[in-house]
C-alpha cells in the first residue's frame, strides 16, 4: 500500500527593513539588474524548451548554465554575451533567475496547450496566452552567498552598485514569531523593494507539534448579522464555551465607504447613465483591504479559542457554491450578501489552525438554523428581531447560537462515526437523516433513556 506523504505547510513572514537613502539606491539597482537577466534567460529557456522541459528540476539549472555561463573547464558556450553584459554576476543570483525563468516558461507552455485544446477558452475568439518576461520578480537570496543574518536585528545583503557587487548591512525593524518556533525551517527569502515597500519575504517550512487533543470541537456559524458565532462542545454534548465575534468598527468603516460609492454613482450617472471603467477603484480597494483585516481578526480569534480548549477540530458549514436568494437588485441586503466573508474566514482559519497541527472539517449546512438544538422541531424567526428564533415549545433563543450548536453535533458525529454517510437515506421512513443531526442527538446517544 502506497503511503501518502503529508502536504508541506509553507508560510511567509514579512521582515521590515530600514535602509538608508544610499541603500535604497543600491536595492533599486539590484532589483533592476536581476529583472534584466530574467528577461534574457526567459527567451533562452523558451528557445530550448524542447530539450529542457523533460529534465528534472535538479538538472534544469545546470543545463541552462551550460548555455550561458563560461568557466575554465567550459570556455565556449552558446550565448557568450550574457557573461559580457552581466559581468561578475553572483552565481546564486544567476541560478535564482534561471529557476524563475523555468517556472515562467513552464506555466506559459501549460496555459498555451490548454488554450489549444479549448479547455481554458471562455469563448471561441479567446486570444492565446502571452509569455510574460516582465513579471515584476524580485531576487531570491541564498544564505551565505546573497545574505548573512546578524541575529534578528540586522542582515547583510549582496547588492549591485552599477559596476560592482558589494555587501551592505541593513537594520531589521519588524519581525513576526515564526522564526522562534523550534520545528520551523527558514527557507530562502526574497528581497522585496519598490516605491512603497522594502522588506524581506521569508518563507518557513512549518512542522507542527503532535497534538493530544481533548474530546471537544469548536463549531463556527458564519452569518450576516453576526460575523462568527463560536461554540465549544464536548463529545458528550455539553456546551463549555460560547462567543460572538463581530468586529463592528471595521464593518462600519467598510459600509460607510460603500455607501459613498452609491451616492457618487447616483451623481455621476444621473438617470440612465453609465459608469466609466475603474469608477471608485480606490474606494473598492480600501474596502477589500478592510475585508482582509476583518477576516484575519475573526480567524485569529477562532484559532485562539480552539487552542485554549485543545479542540479536536474546528467545524464549519459547507457553503461552497451557496448563493443568496433574498434581497432586491442593488439593495442594501444584496450588498451585505455580496460582502459576506464566508470563504475568506474559513480559509484563513484553516491556514492558521494547520500550523498548530489541527484539523478543519465541513458539514452539511442544511437545517442547521431551522432545527432546534433541543429536538423540539422547526424554529420560527421572530418577526421583530430576525436574529432570534422561537422554538415550538415557545422558547426564544439566538438563531446563530442554535445553528453553531447543531454544527458542532454534526461534526462530532462525523468524527465518532466513520462509516456513517452524510447523504439523506431514501430508505429512512421516519426521523431525519444523519446530515440533519442536532445537539440533542449527542445527549440521547450517551443516555438512551432520554430518547
For residues 102 and 109, what is the distance between their CA atoms, to the nearest angstrom?
11
- pLDDT of 119 reads 80
Beta-sheet strand order (sheet of 380-381): 380-381, 388-390, 396-398
- pLDDT of 320 reads 86
- pLDDT of 445 reads 65
Quick one: DSSP state of residue 383?
Answer: S
Distances (CA, A) of 421 to 167, 314, 366, 414, 427: 62, 20, 15, 8, 13
For residues 206 and 10, what is the distance between their CA atoms, to the nearest angstrom?
6
Q: Give me the residues paired with residue 198 across strands.
A: 193
Residue 2 pLDDT level (bands cut at 50, 70, 90): very low
- Please check the confidence at residue 162 and state whether its pLDDT lies above 50: yes
DSSP E strand stretches across 235-342: 239-245, 313-317
For residues 257 and 285, what is the distance between their CA atoms, to the nearest angstrom?
10
What average pLDDT does range 428-450 have in this prediction?
63
- pLDDT of 418 reads 53
Q: Nearest 5°: phi and psi at 233?
A: -130, 135
- pLDDT of 133 reads 87
For residues 374 and 376, what is the distance between their CA atoms, to the nearest angstrom?
6
Q: Which of 64-68, 85-89, 242-246, 385-389 has the lowest mean pLDDT?
A: 385-389
Q: What is the pLDDT of residues 260-316, one digit of tens each?
A: 888 888 888 766 678 888 888 999 999 999 999 999 999 999 999 999 999 999 999
What average pLDDT does range 61-69 have in this prediction?
95
- At 444 the three-state DSSP class reads helix
Residue 429 pLDDT level (bands cut at 50, 70, 90): very low
- At 38 the three-state DSSP class reads helix
Angle, helix 57-68 to helix 21-47, in steps of 10 degrees: 100
Dig out the grid coordinates for 99 from the structure.
529557476
- pLDDT of 307 reads 95
- At 4 the three-state DSSP class reads coil
CB atoms within 10 A of CB 343: 13
Q: What is the pLDDT of residues 6-51, one digit of tens each?
A: 578 999 999 999 999 999 999 999 999 999 999 999 999 999 999 9
Alpha carbon 197 to chain centroid distance? Answer: 21
Amino acid at each position: 500500500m502506497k503511503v501518502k506523504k503529508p502536504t508541506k505547510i509553507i508560510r511567509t513572514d514579512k521582515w521590515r527593513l530600514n535602509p538608508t537613502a544610499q541603500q535604497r539606491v543600491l536595492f533599486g539597482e539590484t532589483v533592476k539588474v536581476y529583472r534584466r537577466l530574467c528577461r534574457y534567460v526567459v527567451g533562452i529557456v523558451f528557445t530550448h524548451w524542447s530539450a529542457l522541459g523533460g529534465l528534472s528540476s535538479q538538472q534544469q539549472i545546470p543545463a541552462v548554465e551550460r548555455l550561458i555561463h563560461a568557466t575554465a573547464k567550459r570556455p565556449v558556450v552558446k550565448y557568450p554575451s550574457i557573461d559580457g553584459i552581466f559581468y561578475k554576476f553572483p552565481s546564486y543570483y544567476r541560478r535564482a533567475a534561471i529557476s524563475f525563468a523555468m517556472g515562467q516558461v513552464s506555466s506559459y507552455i501549460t496555459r498555451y496547450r490548454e488554450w489549444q485544446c479549448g479547455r481554458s477558452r471562455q469563448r471561441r475568439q479567446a486570444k492565446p496566452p502571452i509569455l510574460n518576461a516582465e513579471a515584476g520578480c524580485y531576487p531570491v537570496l541564498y544564505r551565505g552567498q546573497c545574505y548573512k543574518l546578524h541575529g534578528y536585528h540586522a542582515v547583510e545583503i549582496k547588492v549591485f552598485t552599477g559596476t560592482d557587487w558589494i555587501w551592505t548591512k541593513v537594520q531589521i525593524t519588524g519581525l513576526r514569531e515564526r522564526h522562534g518556533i523550534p520545528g520551523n525551517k527558514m527557507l530562502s527569502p526574497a528581497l522585496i523593494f519598490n516605491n512603497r515597500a522594502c522588506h524581506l519575504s521569508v518563507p518557513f517550512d512549518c512542522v507542527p507539534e503532535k497534538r493530544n487533543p481533548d474530546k471537544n470541537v469548536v463549531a463556527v456559524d458564519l452569518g450576516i448579522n453576526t460575523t462568527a458565532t463560536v461554540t465549544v462542545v464536548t463529545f458528550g454534548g455539553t456546551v463549555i464555551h460560547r462567543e460572538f465575534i463581530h468586529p463592528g468598527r471595521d464593518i462600519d468603516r467598510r459600509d460607510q465607504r460603500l455607501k459613498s460609492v452609491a451616492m457618487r454613482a447616483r451623481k455621476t450617472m444621473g438617470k440612465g447613465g453609465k459608469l466609466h471603467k475603474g469608477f471608485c477603484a480606490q474606494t473598492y480597494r480600501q474596502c477589500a483591504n478592510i475585508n482582509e483585516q476583518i477576516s484575519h481578526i475573526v480567524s485569529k480569534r477562532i484559532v485562539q479559542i480552539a487552542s485554549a480548549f485543545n479542540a479536536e477540530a474546528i467545524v464549519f458549514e459547507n457553503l461552497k457554491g451557496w448563493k443568496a436568494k433574498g434581497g432586491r437588485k442593488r439593495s442594501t441586503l444584496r450588498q451585505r450578501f455580496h460582502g459576506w466573508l464566508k470563504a475568506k474566514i474559513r480559509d484563513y482559519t484553516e491556514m492558521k489552525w494547520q500550523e498548530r497541527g489541527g484539523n478543519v472539517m465541513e458539514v452539511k449546512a442544511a437545517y442547521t438554523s431551522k432545527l432546534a438544538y433541543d429536538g423540539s422541531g422547526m424554529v420560527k424567526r421572530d418577526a421583530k428581531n430576525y436574529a432570534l428564533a422561537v422554538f415550538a415549545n415557545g422558547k426564544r433563543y439566538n438563531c446563530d447560537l442554535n445553528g453553531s450548536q447543531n454544527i458542532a453535533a454534526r461534526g462530532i458525529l462525523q468524527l465518532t462515526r466513520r462509516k456513517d454517510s452524510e447523504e439523506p437515506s431514501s430508505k429512512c421512513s421516519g426521523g431525519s437523516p444523519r446530515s440533519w443531526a442536532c445537539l440533542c442527538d449527542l445527549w440521547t446517544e450517551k443516555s438512551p433513556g432520554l430518547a
